[in-house]
Chains A and B, each alone.
Chain A
Amino acid sequence: MATPLTLKELSKKEDLLTHGHRMCSGCGAPTVVKMVLLATEHPVIAANATGCLEVSTCISEYTAWKIPWIHTAFENAAATLSGVETMYRSLKKQGKIDKDVKFIAFGGDGGTYDIGFQSLSGAMERGHDMIYVCYDNGAYMNTGIQRSSATPLGADTTTCPAGSVIPGKLRARKNLTKIMAAHNIPYTAQASPSHWMDLMKKVQKAHSYEGPKFLNIIAPCNRGWRSKTNDSILLSRLAVNTCYWPLYEIENGVTKITSTPKEKLPIADFMKPQGRFKHIFDPGNEWLLTRIQEEVDAEWEKLKYAEKCGC
């Protein structure tokens, strides 16, 4: 029986990513991980791609993980975990292990959208029983805020810096959630820590399916977003309410928007509190703000259409 998703019940559960890790204060990633693990019932084994979460939670000879955890490299959390899961299946088949175990991989957007894309696609196609969770902070944060294919249009990063000629990133984000759904896996969803109940429900739903599942979860990074350290939840909420980060799921091929903003806010509301978009509001860059709004609107319309037509 899954734990009822009430604060009272959840507060009785142990944090499986414990205090003492060294992520920046106010970082969204550990909040995301804690929520995912709180919504997980069975014994669970996690794999982690190289990145902020990994380097800050297990520094020899300490670990913040109260569950079996493995990190091997940057591009292969899915492949590594597929090995762990395969050994589990082999030993279970041979009668050498009897417990039911769940498997979760955590990767940043760089380790998932970019360098780890192949190994993720391979693991999903092979059908391993795991949830792959991408905590998406929109850049290679661990190496100092470099552009990834998850970096939003217009953002200033250290490899697509907003300069006097080029105003930051000129490409829109890759829509990885859709790409993962196109693997015809049973469950794909997008979530945000601001909507914790929605997020945890999605984790529980994902666990209820055998086979590969993918969750894309926005995880604000105050260092890279140039935002206040206490704004993670606020910004992840604004991401949802501007429809920059719509909350939806694709369950057995059927798209469902799980939370529609009461009032769809302009994208500028999400961008203004973030220094990485400061230049967008400079005179002369109005066209870029318009383009960003158009991109967001177009994606949102496509999503609503997908829901409406049941695809």
Chain B
Amino acid sequence: MAKVVAVTGNEAVANALRQVNPDVCGIYPITPQTDMMQRYASFISDGKVDTEAVLVESEHSSMSACIGASAAGGRVVTATSSQGLALMWEMLHIAAGDRLPIIMPVVNRALSAPLNIHGDHSDAMGARDTGWIQIWSENGQEAYDNTIQAFRIGEHMDIRLPVMVCMDGFIISHSIERMEYLDDPEVKNFVGPFKNLYPLLDLDKPKSYGPLILTDLYHEYKRAQHEVMLKTKDVVLEVAKDFEKLSGRKYGLFESYRLEDADIALVILNSAAGTSKDVIDEFRGKGIKAGLLKPRLFRPFPYEEVAEALKNTKAVCVMDRSDSFGGYGPLFMEISSALYQLKQKPALINKIYGLGGRDYLPSHAEEVLQELHEIAQGGKLKIIKEYIGVRE
């Protein structure tokens, strides 16, 4: 029986982790994640989980210890944000290259300099090429649900990859929302026992982890990593189907909101999608066919499916909450790659919004949708990439 609660995103994800009860976790503080693993530390101190924590001296060591623990053979989690994720960067590649299904909630936050503790997506976008599966979440409910599903996805015997579950710093991590928890046994059953693959602790069959690989094999090794990523989409959908049976909540590779007959569309990640949906409804009320696509699985990226979903639109704006300075926003690059394969492509623009926690307001969505509407009506596309909500 689902339990209705009013909790913050951090609390919800910490609770999901408690319900899964991993064998080892790495803990290191960084705003806005800190409070999630702090809560987890209380579960440990109160005997509510079997987890052994490694109270590391840095995030680099946290990911290193998680890799060691996962290779040893067992279920492993950690969580981080921003500078912490940046410090882990070297080890993120190694976790994925070693095919270790470590699960890591990432509470998205801006990167220094200048130092800023608020929410944007620069941290996780900087880690998109590390070989981790990335799942993004609009709200606390999604972060909770995605965390639980992440174990089934990463630990799937055909996949064995680490998974990041992303949610917006403060906006979600620290806001109280109404949401539904699954029962402990339901989560335990859903996730199932951890299945080992080549554990170091199998002392009778010694393994060597982390060899040097020369030019004769490295290329093949990396292709294999790409190929397993391609299999991930099906597993994500299969797990989502099972999760729907359990929870009644439906998940896909992305969410389409009023997109079927839309002329104009926003593509937008995480919490800002919620704000945008209200404005989409207003535009629909005015007779303008507006829709929204909210990516969920960002790595691997579902190019064909996204192209299919957007193919009948006339103008699309990709909203990025992070930037590639001197380039387009990272989400824009993916969407334009997806759309390039279409014979008839919608006009495509890119807005950078909400960096370092700058508020994203309904009026911003309105302006963008208005601009898209004009382009769709035959107006000129003036500028491809633009910052919005900027103080001049």
Is the CB of B58 closer than 8 A to any CB of chain A?
A: yes
Is the CB of B262 closer than 8 A to any CB of chain A?
A: no
Is the CB of B5 closer than 8 A to any CB of chain A?
A: no
Is the CB of B72 closer than 8 A to any CB of chain A?
A: yes
Interface segment among A66-74, A212-220, A252-260, A262-270: the answer is A66-74
What is the number of contacts between chain A and chain B, taking CB atoms within 8 Å? 161
In the bound assembly, the distance between CA atoms of A75 and B207 in angstroms comes to 22
- Interface flags for A66-90 (1: CB within 8 Å of B; 0: not) read 1111111101100111111111111
The answer to whether A68 and B58 touch across the interface, beta carbons within 8 angstroms, is: no
CB-contacts of A202-229 with B (<8 A): none
Is the CB of A122 closer than 8 A to any CB of chain B?
A: yes
- Interface flags for B32-68 (1: CB within 8 Å of A; 0: not) read 0000000000000000001111111110111011111
- Interface flags for B250-292 (1: CB within 8 Å of A; 0: not) read 0000000000000000000000000000000000000000000
Is the CB of A93 closer than 8 A to any CB of chain B?
A: yes
Chain B residues within 8 Å of chain A by Cβ, number:
45
Give the nearest-CB partner of B67 in chain A: A72
Residues of A within 8 A of B209 (CB): 69-72
Residues of B within 8 A of A119 (CB): 57-58, 60-61, 64
CB-contacts of B208-231 with A (<8 A): 208-214, 217
Is the CB of A63 closer than 8 A to any CB of chain B?
A: yes
In the bound assembly, the distance between CA atoms of A68 and B91 in angstroms comes to 20
In the bound assembly, the distance between CA atoms of A87 and B68 in angstroms comes to 8
The answer to whether A81 and B212 touch across the interface, beta carbons within 8 angstroms, is: no
The answer to whether A101 and B64 touch across the interface, beta carbons within 8 angstroms, is: no
Given the interface pairs A79-B60, A86-B52, A91-B73, the reply to whether A58 lies near B23 with Cβ below 8 Å is no
In the bound assembly, the distance between CA atoms of A71 and B68 in angstroms comes to 9
- Per a CB cutoff under 8 Å, which of A58, A65, A76 touches B61? A76
Residues of B within 8 A of A67 (CB): 206
The answer to whether B58 and A82 touch across the interface, beta carbons within 8 angstroms, is: no
Chain A nearest CB from B187 CB (Å) reads 18
Chain A nearest CB from B237 CB (Å) reads 31
The answer to whether A87 and B73 touch across the interface, beta carbons within 8 angstroms, is: yes
CB-contacts of A109-162 with B (<8 A): 118-119, 121-123, 125-126
Is the CB of A45 closer than 8 A to any CB of chain B?
A: yes
Binding site for A on B (CB under 8 A): 23-24, 26, 50-58, 60-62, 64-74, 76, 90-91, 94, 98, 200-203, 206-214, 217
User: What are the 3 A-B residue pairs with the smallest beta carbon separation, nearest first?
Assistant: A83-B68, A122-B57, A83-B65
